[in-house]
Amino acid sequence: MNKIRNILDLKKIKEQTLNKRESQKIILRTCNTGCRARKSQKVIDVLDSAINEKGIQDTVKIIKTGCHGFCEMGPIIVVEPESIFYRKVKPEDVHEIVSQLTEGGVVERLLWSDPVTKGRIPFERELPTYKRQKKEVTYKCGRIDPVDIEDYIAADGYSALGKVLTSMSPEEVIRTVIASGLRGRGGGGFPTGIKWKMCSEAPSDIKYIIANGDEGDPGAFMDRSLMEGDPHSVIEGMIIGAYAIGARQGFIYVRDEYPIAIEHLSMAIRQAEEYGILGKDILGTVFDFNIKLNRGAGAFVCGEETALIISIEGRSGTPRSRPPYPAIEGLWGKPTIINNVETFANIPLILSKGSDAYASLGTERSKGTKVFSLVGKVQNTGLIEVEMGTTLREIIFDIGGGIRKGKRFKAVQTGGPSGGCIPITRIDMPVDYDSLREAGAIMGSGGMIVMDETSCMVDVARYFIDFLMYESCGKCVPCREGLRQMHYILENICRGDGEEGDIETLIEIGQFMMTSSLCGLGSTAPNPVLSTIRHFRSEYESHIYDKKCIAGVCKNLFEYFIDAGLCNGCTLCRLKCPEHAISGEKKKPHLIDSSKCIKCGICFNSCKYEAILVK
């Protein structure tokens, strides 16, 4: 362990680490964060044994990395120096990979293949999903060992901090961040530099800086991946921010549901302390700064900044009114900056590249790149990073590979429970803060959920209202009672008890909540409902007037039936039906008894011939 006393020490560590790599001819970058759910740890263990067995451990190194982004294809191994991309690697594949390492070949069947042409693409940089992306903030995820600070330093980590602490004043740092045009990546989109300026000018000896890692939007895992895959970038961003505003104590608030993120951040903080990057006299300057890790406890509302502050103070996360704004009066009444972890991860880039270079990416009012979690009904689900202004079409069809199972695109939901659904008519819109807002959605933290014709938009609205009813703090009347009433109406509609006037009432309650709720949760809660009514009103009307759910989701409003022309009598559905509602002989078309059918969907999802349809 080397205590870093100044910039020269930093440079020395970088050189030493890079030199160590010289002898490692082959590097295997294996994801061990998100891919753990697909047993990547086992793959790595077998890989390690196989390499040692072969006696090549001096020239072949395994780096356990964070998320590579192409989650659909995990577990992933990328073999350097050529960047050969192996996907869906199982423990039994390892021996073949290892033998090819020394023979200079590749394992064909583990390469990614184009679903249409079936052609195999061996190199990471040529995969269509990566070609349109611009990995800046997530560049190191998937390349470095997130819990090895020397790996981070070798990749130029903490060099921005060195530059800031030794050659820039706090005011210069703030000017640079303002000039970069960086806007908060957590959902609000407020100009980061302006917030920092407000806080730096607030008169107080004690100030605080907080990283919001309470990524609660369902469907979003950008922050999770950053905290797991490159925790030092968040730490570096926070130290620079603390220097800019004059804070000596920082906090990172992480969701309780992210155990790996908590583990990696704890390790990263500890290492930073050991190396002198956190603590007293950082990099030989008179700047002191410490970071404490706080765990969330299962409350989505704690992602709201005032609720998060109250949670750190040891109370229930009920938001409070603003003013006073946290930048002036926050944690324990002191001026406090709260920024999302992705916002902080942008900071080292801005300070090392310079604000002009940073601002050369993106659009007029939305600079830089944005990390999104592209999930739902797309082929290539995973973590992506694109330049602001990239269109939805490019994201969903080029990067995402289009809709899976040959189905049709119906809508994409952005911004989580505060966001909205965007239909096919807007597929060519640029993804930036203002365009999304105009379309009735928001950027949010970056969750992008793609839906196809089997998704019911009324059910989606009901899902979000149910989520918010449970997650709301319950303090103010508009949010608590407004959500309750919206829930009753949507429940009725989905059950087949919708009435004339329901749509208008939903709109009325929604507009009321937007203007009179105490906090952002309540004021944005109506968005999913209002946006689905705006773009998919006919679906609401067919639920209410025709009592029909054409997507086949709302159980009372559709029936399953077997198309005799498509059914080949394989008997799979009959065997799986828990209610014995399907009858038929082998090799003859089967029949569903609607009176017994409970719409569990087991037959629909099991049928290999797509012979079970919805009416």
Partner 1 sequence: MNFKAIDNILEKYNHHHSDIIGILQEVQHIENFLPEGTLRYISRKMEISLTKIFDIVSFYKAFSLKPRGRHIIKACCGTACHLGGALQNLDQIQRILNIKEGETTADRMFSLETVNCLGACALAPVVVVGDEYHEAMNVGKMEKIIVACRQEEGDS
Partner 2 sequence: MKIPIIIDGHLVQVDKGATIMSAAKKAGVFIPTLCYHEALKPYGACRLCIVEVVQNKQRRLVTSCNYPVETGMEVLTDTLKVSQMRRMIVELLLARCPEMPAVQTLARRMGIEISSFKIREAKECILCGLCVRFCEEVVGVSAIGLSNRGTEREVSTPFEAPSDVCIGCGSCTYICPTGCIEMVNDEKTPGMRSMNMGNLSLKPCPNDYKCTTCDIERHFIEEMKGAITRFREKFRNSTEL
Contact between 98 and partner 2 by CB under 8 A: the answer reads no
Question: In what helix (H) or strand (E) does residue 485 lie, and over which residues does it extend?
Answer: helix 477-495
Contact between 484 and partner 2 by CB under 8 A: the answer reads yes
Q: Is the peptide bond before 323 cis (omega within 30 degrees of 0)?
A: yes
Identify whether the C-beta of residue 409 lies closer than 8 Å to the C-beta of residue 450: yes
| 94-103 helix and 40-54 helix, angle to the nearest 10 degrees | 40
Contact between 188 and partner 2 by CB under 8 A: the answer reads no
Nearer to partner 2 among residue 238 and residue 468 (C-beta): 468
Q: Which of residues 288-307 bind partner 1 (CB under 8 A)?
A: 294-300
Q: Which of residues 311-370 bind partner 2 (CB under 8 A)?
A: 316, 320-321, 323-324
Contact between 478 and partner 2 by CB under 8 A: the answer reads yes
| List 162, 482, 510, 528, residue binding partner 2 (CB under 8 A) | 482
Distance between CA atoms of residues 238 and 209, nearest Å: 7
Distance of CA 195 to the CA centre of its chain: 24
Binding mask 67-106 for partner 1 (x = CB under 8 A): ----xx-x--------------------------------
| List 24, 59, 485, 606, residue binding partner 2 (CB under 8 A) | 485
Q: Kindly state the number of chain residues that form the binding site for partner 2, as judged by CB under 8 A.
A: 35
Distance between CA atoms of residues 545 and 541, nearest Å: 6
Burial 444-463 (b: 16+ CB within 10 A, else e): bbbbbbbbbebbbbbbbbbb
Q: Residue 204 phi/psi, 5° resolution?
A: -170, 145
**Pick from partner 1, partner 2, none: which does 167 bind, CB < 5 to 8 A by kind?**
none
| 159-167 helix and 231-245 helix, angle to the nearest 10 degrees | 10
Contact between 516 and partner 2 by CB under 8 A: the answer reads yes
| List 106, 211, 269, 375, residue binding partner 1 (CB under 8 A) | 375
Contact between 59 and partner 2 by CB under 8 A: the answer reads no
For residue 28, the SS3 value is strand
Burial 566-585 (b: 16+ CB within 10 A, else e): ebebbebbbeebeeebbebe
| List 8, 477, 564, 566, residue binding partner 2 (CB under 8 A) | 477
| List 33, 200, 339, 472, residue binding partner 2 (CB under 8 A) | 472
**Distance in Å, CB of 508 to partner 2, minimum:** 8
Distance between CA atoms of residues 4 and 104, nearest Å: 40
Nearer to partner 2 among residue 345 and residue 483 (C-beta): 483
**Pick from partner 2, partner 1, none: which does 515 bind, CB < 5 to 8 A by kind?**
partner 2
Distance between CA atoms of residues 585 and 568, nearest Å: 10
Name 250's Cβ contacts closer than 8 Å, sequence gap at least 6: 208, 209, 210, 211, 238, 239, 242, 289, 290, 291, 292
Binding mask 551-580 for partner 1 (x = CB under 8 A): -------------------------x-x--
Q: Is the peptide bond before 170 cis (omega within 30 degrees of 0)?
A: no
For residue 445, the SS3 value is coil
Q: Which of residues 456-495 bind partner 1 (CB under 8 A)?
A: 460, 463-464, 467, 470-471, 473
| List 473, 525, 533, 550, residue binding partner 2 (CB under 8 A) | 473
Contact between 481 and partner 2 by CB under 8 A: the answer reads yes
**Distance in Å, CB of 255 to partner 2, minimum:** 16
Other Cβ atoms closer than 10 A to 123? 14
Distance between CA atoms of residues 25 and 386, nearest Å: 31
Candidate ranges 51-59, 341-349, 446-454, 509-517; the one touching partner 2 (CB under 8 A): 509-517
Would you tell me which residues interact with partner 2 (CB under 8 A)? 299, 301, 316, 320-321, 323-324, 468-478, 480-485, 487-489, 505, 508-509, 512, 515-518
Contact residues for partner 1, defined by CB under 8 A:
34, 36-38, 71-72, 74, 215-221, 224, 255-259, 294-300, 311-317, 373, 375-377, 381-383, 413, 416, 447, 449, 451, 455, 460, 463-464, 467, 470-471, 473, 576, 578, 600-602, 605
